[in-house]
Structure formats: C-alpha cells, structure tokens
Amino acid sequence: METRRVLIVGATGYIGGRLVPRLLKSGHQVRVVARSLRKASCRPWARHPNVELVQGDAMDFPSMLAAARGCHSAYYLVHSMLSARRDFAHVDRQSAENMVRAAAEAQMGQIIYLGGLGSEEDPDLSEHLHSRHEVGRILQKGPVPATVLRAAMILGSGSASFEMLRYLVDRLPIMITPRWVRTPVQPISVTNVLEYLEGCLDQEAVKGKSFDIGGPEILTYEDLIHMYAELAGLPRRTIIPVPVLTPGLSALWIHLVTPIPSSIAHPLAEGLRNEVVCKDDSIRHVLPIPLQSCREAMALALERLRQQTVESCWTDAGNLLPPEWTHCGDAPYAGGTLLQCGHRIVFEGSPAEIWENIVRIGGSTGWYFGNPLWKIRGGIDRLAGGVGLSRGRRHSRVIHTGDALDFWRVLEVEEPHRLLLLAEMKMPGEAVLEFRLTSLGEGRTELTQVARFLPRGLLGILYWYALYPFHAWIFEGMLRNIGKKSDKEIVRGPEKYNPDLQNACQIDISG
C-alpha cells in the first residue's frame, strides 16, 4: 500500500509522544504540528527521516491549514485542560472547529480523536468530560469522517491519572476520601489505547463512528488503590469514604499530596464522580486486540518507572514559551528592569566532565546545596497553588528541551555547555536560571551560574531583594558542591561576578 502522510496534532503530549514512534515503525510518514519546534525537535523521534516538523497552533486556523495540506489523515490529540487554562472548554471548541475546517480544505480522508467516557445524559457530567464529548461532536459534524474513541482512566507510567493514584497511595496509609472512591470505572492500559488509535487508521469500518474503549475489568477507584498498594509492596491502605468532600476540596488535597497542580486536579476530581464504563464494546469486533488487565498495566507502569524508561509524561503537554527578554535583542518587548545574580567557579577538568553533574540537577539528585530550603520553597509554592518540587524529573541522567524539572521547565540544552531553566513556581515576576560551561584551555573549565528576574511591580522588586542574600549563599554552595561531586579540584572561586561584563545581550530593558 502506498505510504501517505499522517498529521499529528498534539504529538508532544502524553499519548502523541508515544503514538509517533509506533506509526514510524509501521512505515508511515508523519507530520508533527507543534507550537514550539524547539520542544518537538528534542523528542527521540524528531530526526527520523519520515518525520516532518511544522510550526502551528490549533487556535490559529492558517497555521493548521498549512499543516494539514498534503496529509491524508489526522490524529487530533489536543485537550487544553492540561495547559491549566480556566477557559479550556472554549479553547477546545475553537481548536476543534479549526481542525474541521483545515481537514476539509486539505481534503483529508479521516480524523481520529481520543475523547473521554461518561454519559452525555448525566446532569452531573463534569465540565472536563462534557468538553471531551463536545469536541467529538464538532469533529463528526464536519465533512471529513471522524473516528472518536472514548476512554476512561488510562493506566501507564506518566499519565496524569496514574500519577495521581500513585502518589496518593504511596504517601497516604489512611485516606479520607469522597464517595466517588466507589464509583465504577473501566480503566484501559496506554498500550491498548495506542493499539486502538493505530488500528483505526485507514480502517473503513470505523470512519465517522464513535467507540467506547476500555480494559477487560470494571472496578472502583477503591479497588485500584488496593491493587496498586499490593503491586508496589505497600501495606493495605485504610479508606474512609465521607459525603462532605466536594470536588474543590478533593482537588486541593490532590494538589497538596501529588505533583498534579490544582488547575488540573480540579477538573480531574470532578470527573471522578461520574461513572465511566463502556456501554458499547463493538470496537472489540472491529479491532480484536488482546486487552491488558489493570494488574498487568500497573505492573508494567511500575517497572517502567523503576527502569526510568518512561516514554512520555503528562508534564510534557503544554506550550514552551520562553519570555521575550531571555533572548538578545528582545528587550523592548518586555519593559521593566532585569535583575541579575551571577556566580562563577573554575575547575580542573573538561566541560564534559562537569556537565555530567549539571545535567543531573533536581529530582532525586537534589540541588547540591541547601536542599531543605529548596523543599521549603517547593512547599510554599504548593500552598500557593504552584507546581512545587514534587514533579521531579522523568529521567535522572537525561534531559531534553521542554522537560519538567521540579518547579522549572527546561528551555534550552546545549550539551555539554549550557542549560537554561524557566521558573514555573508562583512568584511576582518571571525568572530563568542559566548554567554555562566554558573551556579555558590547559584542562580547566569555568562554570557560571546566572539567575535573571523580571519583577512584576513593587512586590516583585521587594521579593528579589528580600531573597537576594539567600540566593547568593545557596548559589555559591551549589557551585562548590558540583565541583566536589565531579571530584574536580577548584582552581578559583566560587565568587560573584557581574554578568554584564561577559554578556553581549542588552539587559537593561526599561525601554
């Protein structure tokens, strides 16, 4: 059969990041549309000869039309809930309408969409699930046949639902839960989801139709909690359902105990009260794939976590938008005064030898100095509604542009010379943290660390100067301990320095 190009919208998300390599392995040509090409280009599959990366945004119709031209089918794997936008339903509606128009004008033959289970007749259907159903209806009203797959909880390493379950069970031996803990649910393994998605491509029997997809078992969340505890080797958890916990309180509790931020936890918690089971199993006759049990899916997810071979994670989703002021020459767009704190140290050794410890920063490694203070800052961030330190990192030794790293986001990686991090914690301003390694010749390397902060109003300025003494002390300690960890002799430093003297970029951005 002639190989034709497949468009994937949402390829840098949890499902899309795993679907691309499957399609490539099957011999398909894949066009990936992404808001950040820099983020997409860091995926392991980005340099495959059958992958084409194009820039576009589902909210921008011209870019979607340009991406769709020349593609015979499209996977639509976008959902704005994970972007933490409060208006995600409106965004999803507009994005779906753009997809329909673009597919029609590009004369595509099929759209495949992954939505959510739950009865549309349920008056208490959560906004999150209602939005999923609405997107499916919009896609199927267009002239291009749309296949809609509806799934409940997806079990797999890195999925938001599984990570929420994992952290709750790991950290809470006694759980006071809402009544939804006994709501029926039909989870499905991420492996089976991917098999269904791939199987629907060019399958005439599924075009224009909707299907419920689920695993072989209908359980409750209480069953899943006990199952996970057994597989993880934990004592059996005590669960006490009570009628007074609202979705808002549940979301707050999830936010404090797990890495899932409240903006995502709230729509997820609302959806937990809805019964999500398959009402129609006709997909099993069209695509008779072997279904993994919940126990098998959880065991595989835990093994992937232990081996640090998680292909994609819920934290991958979302746009990578570095502040304008982080680039040379972009000063006039920001406005304000950029505040900086620079430190440097010189080691015996090459940049590659020091880089091995720079790239391991955060997560289980920690921040090399003042870890209790970092944890306190992460706790304060969680209380303020931020992401905190609990997201960790996907792999302890490998890092890519776009990865979450505790309460930072990786903006740029230039191995073995530069790592640039964007702060995602709650603060009155925007901040980046840069590590740069420069060879000085004669077997010596200079490591510089620069924190840059664009304050938001008077509160931002007060915030910077109140923490400045602590930053100076912590950053010097970090540089010193990175050297010790690398087992390299310190030639000079650590010491403060003025980044202006070594940086050609304009940093006074008052306009």
- 166-192 residue pLDDT tens: 888 998 899 888 888 899 999 999 999
Cα 306 to Cα 182, 303, 427, 434, 481, distances in angstroms: 29, 5, 33, 30, 27
Q: What is the 8-class DSSP label of residue 507?
A: -
- Identify the pLDDT of residue 511: 32
Interior angle at CA 295, CA 299 and CA 245, nearest 5: 105
> What residues of the chain score a pLDDT lower than 50?
1-2, 83-84, 327-335, 501-511
The secondary structure of 345-372, three-state, reads EEEECCHHHHHHHHCCCECCCECCCCHH
11-70 pLDDT tens trace: 888 899 999 999 999 999 999 998 888 778 878 898 899 999 999 999 999 999 999 999
CA atoms of 186 and 117, how far apart (whole Å): 9
Return the percentage of the chain with pLDDT > 70, whole number: 91
Write the class of the CATH domain 324-502: alpha beta
Q: If you count them, how many residues does the chain have? A: 511
Check residue 86 and give its pLDDT. Answer: 60
Per-residue pLDDT at 134:
93
- Can you give the pLDDT at residue 335? 46
Token pair 């990865």 is at which residue? 403
Q: According to the model, what pLDDT value does residue 80 have? A: 66
Let me know: does 184 contact 119? Beta carbons within 8 Å: no
What is the residue whose two structure tokens read 């003494």? Answer: 469
Residue-range domain boundaries for the chain: 5-316, 324-502
Domain spanning 5-316, CATH class = alpha beta
The answer to whether residues 187 and 155 touch, using CB atoms and an 8 Å cutoff, is yes
Structural element, H or E, at residue 147: strand 146-151
Residue with tokens 């000085």, as numbered in its chain:
440
For residues 243-265, b (16+ Cβ closer than 10 Å) or e, as one string? eebebeebbbbbbebbbbbbbbb
User: What is the model's pLDDT at position 63?
Assistant: 95
Give the residue ranges of DSSP H helices in 6-159: 16-25, 37-40, 61-68, 88-105, 127-141
